[in-house]
Chain A
Amino acid sequence: MLALEGLTVRTGDSLLVDDLSLELHDGQVTCLIGPSGCGKSSVVKWLAGVLAPGLQAEGLVLLDGAAMPRPAPALAYQPQQDALFPWLTVAENAALGLSLRGLSDRAARAQVRPYFATFGLSGCEDLFPDQLSGGMRQRAAFLRTMVQDTRFVLLDEPFSALDAVTRMRMQDWLCARLAEAPRGVLMVTHDLFEATQMADRILVMSARPGRILADLTLDTPRHLRRDPALAPIRQTLKSLLLEEDPHA
């Protein structure tokens, strides 16, 4: 289990995140939702060790009860955009995490190649990112994240740049991948449907300064989640967010 305790993020005199604590469990998908500017991305970036230099943060991260060094070998981070390097082939992009974690570039590329079929990228190994569609690019980014084989994965609005249809396909696709190889996931999203479709737990953040407002557990199996039975929980989330949205 990964526990974040008492995270406070400030920029100058302004408090962005206020004494926030949360827990991530192995194999469980946790979605973090909240109004714009509440500090969702800051939480994930701080965990990943890439918080912007202008922000001051303090807090504690415990992995199985012990203080976790950062950047942590137990965590893989995927930023908002796919962040594929345009000068690297898809295979080289996918192998990036492995080669930075100690493998030679060649060995890292060899290690990622078998996964291309599973990630729907067969035949794309030697293409460049600008030769891929939006969905393929996102799958390549997920491949880069998942092959690092970390216990926990941090996803910062991974589908926000995709069109509606591709987004729905990618949500189903990611759920299927996570069912095959479960990871502890913390995913930031602003999409209620996405959160209720994918999460085992949903954490709702308040408006700035962000803190955890509600912690909802979803017991309905994922394949039944398009069922109207989920309507009440979506309504609850919607009400919470509308109350917190400063522009409402």
Chain B
Amino acid sequence: MSAFFRLAPALLLAALLLAGWEAYCRLAEVPALILPPPSGVLRALLTERESLGRHALSTLQVTALGFSLSIAFAFATSLALHFVPWLQRGLMPLLVASQTIPLVALAPLMILWFGFGLLPKVLLVILVTFFPILLSLLSGYRAAEAAHLDLLASMGAGQWARFRRVRLPSARASFFTGLRISATYAIVATIFAEYAGARSGIGIFILTAKNSFRADLVLAGVVASALLTLGLLALIALVQRLTARRFRMDVTHAGA
């Protein structure tokens, strides 16, 4: 019951927006070439489902690989930066600067340097998603309660024991927040990389559709991208919930 009522406002609003869009297209007789109605986009989704499914799978593979590597790199980097303060002072400005590089400039360069294979796309996903995860981990480590750290210190716990028993569990809620933020960028970054140069993927599907003046297929690609992102977010929420037995705090206070 609670899940239904939680989702009801979003579903109702989405239904109203789609109905308004459909009504506008029909009443104003907008050409489908410019703005296809939702029913047209749905039709395109159904007729092109096989092709779109193939491309979406390709996008998903790149995203999954890039995102997984990004989490691993972010965790390893967070350990290094946490335990070596001078490294954090030296590296953080560079990492912040890396986030200011426009994707539109970087994506074609990646293709130029690393070709049309998997590597440039995975690198781009890592570059876009790495930083929010890293920041969320570092701020989570810092959010550990002083009383918990003092208690362990009084028991003779060393730096690693204090990290493993207090800082790491304290960072859990913050880590999942970072994951959710990064997940919303992950699919978009992959599509952007494909757009800059690839053989398959939703980016290529959208590019081909745009070149054929098929606005309905472009929007079908957008819908597929949104669905993949929602799927990724749902997966993260599921992992958070399934591993929450020992972490009652972020289930009760932050939601999943």
Contacts and interface: CB of A to CB of B under 8 A. Distances in A.
Interface of A: 45, 48-50, 71, 73, 75-81, 83, 85-88, 96-97, 100-101, 128, 130, 148, 154
Given A50-B150, A83-B148, A97 B249 contact: no
Contact of B156 (A83, A86, A101): A101
A73 B156 CA distance: 8
Nearest to A45: B150
A80 B154 CA distance: 14
B207 interface: no
Interface string B150-174: 1111111100010001100100100
Contact of B151 (A73, A83, A101, A130): A83
Given A83-B148, A85-B166, A87-B169, A100 B156 contact: yes
A72 to B, nearest CB: 8
Contact of A83 (B147, B246, B249): B147
B2 interface: no
Contacts of A88: 246
A77 B147 contact: no
A154 B154 CA distance: 10
Contacts of A81: 147
**Closest 8 pairs (CB-CB, A-B):** A77-B154, A50-B150, A83-B147, A48-B154, A100-B155, A79-B147, A71-B156, A86-B249
Contacts of A87: 169, 172, 246-249
A112 to B, nearest CB: 14
Nearest to B148: A83
Contacts of B151: 77-79, 83, 96
B252 interface: yes
Contact residues on B (Cβ < 8 Å of other chain), bracket: 20 to 34
B247 A71 contact: no
A78 B152 CA distance: 10
B145 interface: yes
Main secondary structure of the interface of A (DSSP, over half): loop
6 contacts: A77-B154, A83-B145, A83-B148, A85-B166, A87-B247, A87-B249
A156 B82 CA distance: 30
A88 B245 CA distance: 10
Nearest to B169: A87
B249 A100 contact: no
Interface in B119-154: 145, 147-148, 150-154
Interface string B233-256: 000000000000011110010000
A138 to B, nearest CB: 14
B153 A49 contact: yes
B167 to A, nearest CB: 12
A83 B147 CA distance: 6
A95 to B, nearest CB: 11
Given A87-B246, A88-B246, 11 more contacts: A71-B154, A76-B155, A83-B151, A85-B166, A86-B248, A96-B155, A100-B161, A101-B156, A130-B248, A130-B249, A130-B252
A71 B147 contact: no
A73 B155 CA distance: 8
Contacts of B155: 71, 76-77, 96-97, 100-101, 148
Nearest to B149: A50
A48 B154 CA distance: 5
B112 to A, nearest CB: 47
A85 B169 contact: yes
Contact of B152 (A45, A80, A86, A100): A100
B243 to A, nearest CB: 11
Given A100-B161, A130-B248, A130-B249, A49 B145 contact: no
Contacts of A101: 155-156
Contacts of B150: 45, 48, 50, 77, 79, 83
Given A83-B145, A88-B246, A100-B161, A75 B252 contact: no
A130 B151 CA distance: 19
Contacts of B154: 48-50, 71, 75-77, 154
Contacts of B249: 86-87, 130
A88 B166 CA distance: 11
Nearest to A71: B156
Contacts of A49: 153-154
